[in-house]
Amino acid sequence: MEVSITKAILAAVTTTRDERITGVPVFYAETEEEMVEMSVILSRVMEAVAHDMGNGVYIIVKH
């Protein structure tokens, strides 16, 4: 049987310099706008979707 990963968090984008995010590449933004812009670029480049975690962290998820 072929096993493959169908969903994966590729990156996280945040404005809070929070050290709790581990295990994925983290991109730090200075402002909210910058965070959104970075999320757009990352999601387009990775062909993935940006999801809002609701706590100032965006995750880029490959579906």
Partner 1 sequence: MSKEILTIVTGVVLGTVSRFWMMRRDFRQYPSYPHAVVTHLALGFVAATLGAVAIPALAAKEYTAVTFLALAATQFREVRTMEREMLAALEQSALVSRGPDFIEGIARTFEARNYLVVFVSLAASLATHLFSVIPGVIAGIVAMALVRHFMQGKLIGDVARVRPGRLHFEGANLFVDDIHIMNLGLKETHKVYEEYGRAVVIEPIDDNAREILANVGQRQAIAHEVASLLGVRRDVDTAEFTPLLRRNVKTGRVGMVIVPIEPDMECLLEAVKNVPVLESSFVKPLASKAGYCASD
Q: Where along the sequence are the contacts to partner 1 (CB under 8 A)?
A: 36, 39-40, 43-45, 47-52, 54, 58-59, 62-63
Q: Please, what is the minimum distance in Å from the beta carbon of residue 54 to partner 1?
A: 7
Task: Select 29 or 58, whichever has its Cβ closest to partner 1.
Answer: 58
Burial of residue 21 (number of CB atoms within 10 Å: 0-12, 13-18, 19+): middle
Task: Select 2 or 30, whichever has its Cβ closest to partner 1.
Answer: 2
Which ranges constitute the DSSP H helices of 1-63?
32-46
